[in-house]
């Protein structure tokens, strides 16, 4: 699976995802605020590029949208500290972490892993990346998620429980990064259910990005 960076095609590697990284989202899930980043992974095959029609999954009953700021890693190596963390960022975009919420609840209650609820095919709709540069304030990126052209989520990287450099350092101290690794940084409040006829859109005025996907029920 490849991703686009300003028109260039780059092989996607691992997809790291962060759960519960906005206080109000933690509250809407009736969860406890974590004391360290909550990390899970999706296979690269979960990525759905912008414009692709998404298969609506049938292995649960309550599919949720989660709009997120997404990072593309451009350097190899472990991350020694938060100071050098931002130097690992090659690109930025927005996308969705689609979640089968009812199944996730059952898995969490049973103490089982989340993969069935988080890592299924097309569960990571992902926009095209733009290059990260010093003119972008990584701590003040606004983004939105819309369903059928109605805004449902508004987020800002300034509101993250664990900021971008903390996430990169935390992940990069455990795994040795590979160029093409991807990090979904968590979703703001306002998540909700999707139906087979919905059109989902992710926007960022800060980054001048706007992407759309729609579902179809066939496989």
pLDDT for residue 78: 98
Backbone angles phi, psi at 39, to 5 degrees: -115, 130
Question: What's the DSSP call for residue 166?
Answer: H
pLDDT for residue 218: 55
- The 10s digit of each residue's pLDDT in 158-202 is 999 999 999 999 999 999 999 999 999 999 999 999 999 999 999
Cα(164)–Cα(124) distance, rounded to whole angstroms?
A: 19
Q: What is the CATH number of domain 2-216?
A: 3.90.850.10
pTM listed for this prediction: 0.95
Q: What is each CA distance from 85 to 36, 129, 151, 166, 215, in whole angstroms?
A: 17, 19, 32, 8, 36
Tokens, residue 30: 């009736």
Domain map (residue ranges) of the chain = 2-216
pLDDT for residue 156: 97
Cα(136)–Cα(32) distance, rounded to whole angstroms?
A: 32
How sure is the predictor about 32, in pLDDT bands with cuts at 50, 70 and 90? Answer: confident
pLDDT for residue 193: 96
- The 10s digit of each residue's pLDDT in 70-120 is 999 999 999 999 999 999 999 999 999 999 999 988 998 899 988 999 999
Cα(1)–Cα(45) distance, rounded to whole angstroms?
A: 6
pLDDT for residue 137: 96
Mean pLDDT of the region 8-17: 96
Mean pLDDT of the region 201-205: 96
Q: 3-class DSSP state for residue 80?
A: coil
Of the candidate ranges 31-40, 81-90, 120-129, the one whose mean pLDDT is the lowest: 31-40
């Amino acid at each position: 699976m490849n991703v686009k960076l300003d028109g260039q095609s780059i092989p996607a590697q691992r997809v790291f995802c962060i759960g519960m990284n906005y206080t109000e989202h933690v509250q809407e899930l009736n969860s406890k605020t974590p004391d360290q980043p909550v990390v899970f992974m999706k296979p690269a095959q979960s990525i759905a590029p912008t414009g692709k029609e998404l298969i609506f999954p049938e292995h649960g009953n309550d599919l949720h949208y989660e709009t997120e700021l997404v990072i593309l890693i451009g350097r190899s190596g472990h991350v020694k500290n938060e100071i050098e963390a931002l130097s690992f960022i090659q690109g930025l975009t927005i996308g969705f972490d689609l979640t089968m919420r009812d199944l996730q609840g059952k898995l969490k209650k049973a103490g089982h892993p989340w993969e069935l609820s988080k890592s299924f095919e097309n569960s990571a709709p992902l926009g095209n990346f733009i290059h990260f540069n010093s003119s972008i304030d990584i701590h003040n990126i606004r983004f939105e998620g819309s369903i059928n052209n109605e805004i449902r989520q508004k987020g800002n990287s300034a509101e993250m429980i664990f900021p971008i450099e903390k996430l990169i350092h935390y992940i990069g101290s455990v795994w040795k990064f590979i160029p093409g690794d991807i990090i979904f940084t968590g979703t703001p409040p306002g998540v909700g259910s999707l139906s087979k006829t919905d059109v989902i859109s992710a926007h960022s005025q800060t980054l001048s990005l706007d992407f759309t996907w729609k579902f179809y029920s066939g496989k």
